[in-house]
Amino acid sequence: MRPETEAELAEMIAAAKGPLHVQGGGTRPVGQPVTGEMLHTSGMSGITLYEPGALTLVVQAGTPLAEIEAALDAEGQRLPFEPMDHRGLLGTSGTPTIGGVVASNASGPRRIQVGACRDFMLGVRFVDGQGTVIKNGGRVMKNVTGYDLVKLLSGSWGTLGVLSEVSLKVLPKPDSAATLKFRGLDVAQAVSVMSRALGSPFEITGAAHDPQAGQTLLRIEGFAQSVTYRAGQLRALFSDHAIEIENDPAQVAATWAGIRDVAPLQDGTGDVWRLSVKPSDAPELVARLDAEALLFDWGGGLIWARVPEGTDLRARMSGVKGHATLIRGSAASRAALPVFHPEPAPLAHITDGLRLRFDPRGILNPGLMGA
C-alpha cells in the first residue's frame, strides 16, 4: 500500500484486514520485526507551508528529510534537533523521511541544549488504527489547547497512528561554529569536563566523548565574534588542559555528523545499545558494561555501546536509573531481549491502555515496541 493522500491512508487503514507494517524510508528498522502488509508513507510528500519569518514548517509525513533540509537551508534555517541518520549504523539504504524522524523522536548532539525532536513538534495529523483522521496541536509556537498528543505521537514508532502531516518549529542557522577538542581524558574526566562546560554560561551545543579516538569534544555556535569570545572563555576555564580548536565550518559539521550518526561504532559486528542516564552515572556504569566500543554524547548522558550479540546490557544497569534500547540487534538478540526498556507495571498498564484505544485491532506495527 502506498497512499498519496491522508484520505487514502484513512481508507486503507479502515479497510485493512490484518497487521500493517508502517514504513517511511525504511532506514530505521528498530524494534521487534513486524510481519504485516507494507504501508509506505512516501506517497504523501511535499512541503505544505513554510514561513521563515514565523519559524514554522508544515510538511507531509513522507517528505524526504533531504528535501526539507534543502528548503530550510535556502532560508538560512535548519531543524535544530539534528536528527540522526541511522543508515550508517544499521546498514540500510533508503531515503529518510520526516515522518520517520518524528516517529522515532530522532535527536542528535544539540538535544542537550535545545531539546529533542518532540520539543520542536508543533502539530500532527495522523490516522489511528480504525482509520480515523485525528489532528492535535497546530502550527503556532505556543499551544496548550487540550492534551498534548503531539508529544505522545513523537517517538511512538507508528504504533498509535500513522502520521500524515507534521508541523515543526525551525531555527536560524548560526553564522559560525567551532569544536574544542580535548585529548587523552578517561571517561570520568571527560564527563567532568563536559559537565563543567555545560554548567557554564557559554552555551555549549554539543558535548561528546569518543574513547576510541581519545577525544572529548565541545561545540559552540553563534555569531563569529561570540564564538571566538566563548572559545577564549572556555580555554581559560580549562587552562590546565591543552585544547585544540576546530574552526573550519565543513570540518565542524563533519565532526558532529560523526557523533550524531555514531560513526565510531558503525563498523564491526555485535549489538549496539543506546542508553540514556544521568551523566554522572556514566563512568561507573560503563565500567560494568564490558563493551567492545563506546561513544558518549549529551555530556555523557547518552551512551552508545557495542557488545557481543545477545548480551543483556540492561542486566548490567541495575541500580542506575534511565533506559536502554537495543538499536542494532541480530534477529536472535531481538527474539531474546526486549528492544525497548520494560516499564514499571503502572506505566506498562497505561501504555497498553493507550494502544488499545488508538489501535483497538492491534494492526499498526504490532509488537514493534514490545507487548
Partner 1 sequence: MEMPVPNADVIARKAQIVAALSKVMPSGAVISDVSETRAYECDALTAYRCAPLAVVLPRSTEEVSAVMKICHDMGVPVVPRGSGTSLAGGALPTADCVLLGVARMNEVIETDYENRFIRVQTGRTNLSVTGAVEQEDFFYAPDPSSQLACAIAGNIAMNSGGAHCLKYGVTTNNLLGVTIVLMDGTVTEIGGAHLDSGGLDLLGLICGSEGQLGVVTEATLRILRKPEGARPVLMGFDSNEVAGACVSDIIKAGVLPVAIEFMDRPCIEACEAFAHAGYPMCEALLIVEVEGSPAEIDEQLSVILDIARRHNPVELREAKDADEAGRIWLGRKSAFGAMGQINDYMCLDGTIPVTSLPYVLKRIGELSKQYGLGVANVFHAGDGNMHPLILFDANKPGDLELCEDMGADILRLCVEVGGCLTGEHGVGIEKRDLMVDQFAPDDLEAQMAVKDVFDPKWLLNPAKVFPLAASESRRNFALAAE
Q: Is 7 in the site for partner 1 (CB under 8 A)?
A: no
CB of 172 to partner 1, least distance (A): 4
CA 100 to mean position of chain CA atoms = 10
Distance CA 137, CA 125 (A): 9
- Residue number with CB closer to partner 1 (42 or 368): 368
Return the residues of window 124-153 that contact partner 1 according to CB under 8 A. 128, 132-136, 138-152
Could you tell me which stretch among 87-95, 176-184, 262-270, 317-325 binds partner 1 (CB under 8 A)? 317-325
- Residue number with CB closer to partner 1 (1 or 55): 55
> Would you give the binding string for partner 1 spanning residues 51-70, x where CB under 8 A is met?
xxxxxx--------------
> Would you give the binding string for partner 1 spanning residues 228-267, x where CB under 8 A is met?
-x---x----------------------------------
CB of 228 to partner 1, least distance (A): 10
Return the residues of window 181-220 that contact partner 1 according to CB under 8 A. 195, 198-201
Q: Is 156 in the site for partner 1 (CB under 8 A)?
A: yes
Number of residues in contact with partner 1 under rule CB under 8 A: 83
Q: Is 319 in the site for partner 1 (CB under 8 A)?
A: no
C-alpha cell at 35: 510481519
Q: Is 332 in the site for partner 1 (CB under 8 A)?
A: no
Q: Is 87 in the site for partner 1 (CB under 8 A)?
A: no
Which of 116, 163, 220, 265: binder of partner 1 (CB under 8 A)?
116
Return the residues of window 283-302 that contact partner 1 according to CB under 8 A. 298, 301-302
Q: Measuring CA to CA, which residue among 141, 165, 145, 171 is closest to residue 153?
A: 165
Residues near 287 by Cβ (< 8 Å), separated by ≥ 6?
A: none
Which of 50, 273, 304, 340: binder of partner 1 (CB under 8 A)?
340
- Residue number with CB closer to partner 1 (70 or 347): 347
Which of 107, 205, 255, 333: binder of partner 1 (CB under 8 A)?
107
Distance CA 210, CA 306 (A): 13
Distances (CA, A) of 103 to 161, 195, 325: 10, 30, 15
Would residue 310 be called left, alpha or beta, if left means φ above 0 and alpha means ψ between -120 and 50 degrees?
A: left
CB of 267 to partner 1, least distance (A): 26
Exposed e or buried b per residue across 66-82, where buried means at least 16 C-beta atoms within 10 angstroms of its C-beta:
ebbeebbeeeebbbbbb
- Residue number with CB closer to partner 1 (16 or 103): 103
Q: Measuring CA to CA, which residue among 267, 322, 269 is closest to residue 298?
A: 322
The residue count for the chain: 371
Q: Could you give the angle at the alpha carbon of 153 between the alpha carbons of 339 and 112, nearest 5°? A: 75
DSSP 125-142: EEE-TTS-EEEEE-SSS-
DSSP structural state of residue 350: H
Please state the three-class secondary structure of 231-283 as a single string: HHHHHHHCCCCCEEEECCHHHHHHHHHHHHCCHHHHCCCCEEEEEEECHHHHH
Q: Is 71 in the site for partner 1 (CB under 8 A)?
A: no
Which of 119, 246, 261, 292: binder of partner 1 (CB under 8 A)?
119
